[in-house]
Amino acid sequence: MKLLFIGPQGSGKGTQAAIISKELGISHISTGNLFRNAKDELKQELDEYMEQGKLVPDELTLKILKQRLYQADSKNGFILDGFPRNLNQANLLKSITEIDKVIEITVSDLESIKRLSGRVSCEKCNESYNIFTEPKPKNPLYCDLCGGKLIRRGDDNEQAIKKRLEIYHNETEPILKEYQDILIKINGEQNIDKITEDITTKLKHL
Ligand code: AMP
């Protein structure tokens, strides 16, 4: 099964992609995570784009994605989370592989901004929380699981959030019509378990 998860920032697509990929035994590939985990000069180059909320250039994005896509664990299938983000990337993807289903997770801009401004993650184990909505940490400063410090992402600042949403509406949303025959639309303004249930049910019935 080859799936795309598309949705605005803070829609919970990363959380859902992690859960569903485990359930289906396929790999979860998030271009955002690949970029955040890059090293040395490449990391510096990528951070410059990310911190301003801009897209990393398509060529560089595709080069990094391809290296990950061709690893053995993607043989049974994968969920791409955060790719493609514009029409050019959608066309490049089409030239490498076919996609079975596209999951679009919708949330309003207001909800997205609220979620991103409360989003924190553990600097040690990467567990994510939200200080305004569930899953809330018991202590807003430290991780429930390992006691590590909770930090905000560099690009979850007001200016970058605005820019990222603008890019989502102008460049990413229009590509959904390319996938209209295989598109599954999910309401992202529900609790995490209900969203997972909706995705699983719809994947089974289509
Ligand atoms: P995300 O974790 O999906 O919110 O991505 C964080 C940042 O990584 C984005 O704001 C972009 O700067 C960059 N990024 C992630 N995926 C892509 C992509 N497919 N194309 C270009 N830039 C990307």
Q: pTM higher than 0.85 for the full model? A: yes
**Number of the ligand 1 atom closest to the C-alpha atom of 57:** 21
Q: In angstroms, rounded to a whole number, what is the distance separating the alpha carbons of residues 7 and 14?
A: 10
CA of 84 to the centre of ligand 1 (A): 9
Atom 1 (ligand 1) nearest CA: 32
pLDDT band per the 50, 70, 90 thresholds, residue 206: low
Share of the chain above pLDDT 70, in %: 100
Of the candidates 36, 114, 153, 185, the residue annotated as catalytic is: 153
* pLDDT tens readout for residues 50-101: 999 999 999 999 999 999 998 888 888 999 999 999 999 999 999 999 999 9
How wide is the angle at C-alpha 168 spanned by C-alphas 200 and 107, nearest 5°?
Answer: 45
The ligand 1 site (C-beta within 6 Å) comprises: 9, 31-32, 35, 49-50, 53-56, 61, 82-83, 85, 89, 155, 164
Determine whether 119 is an active site residue: yes
* pLDDT tens readout for residues 105-148: 999 999 999 999 999 999 999 898 999 888 899 999 999 999 99
What 8-state DSSP symbol labels residue 170? I
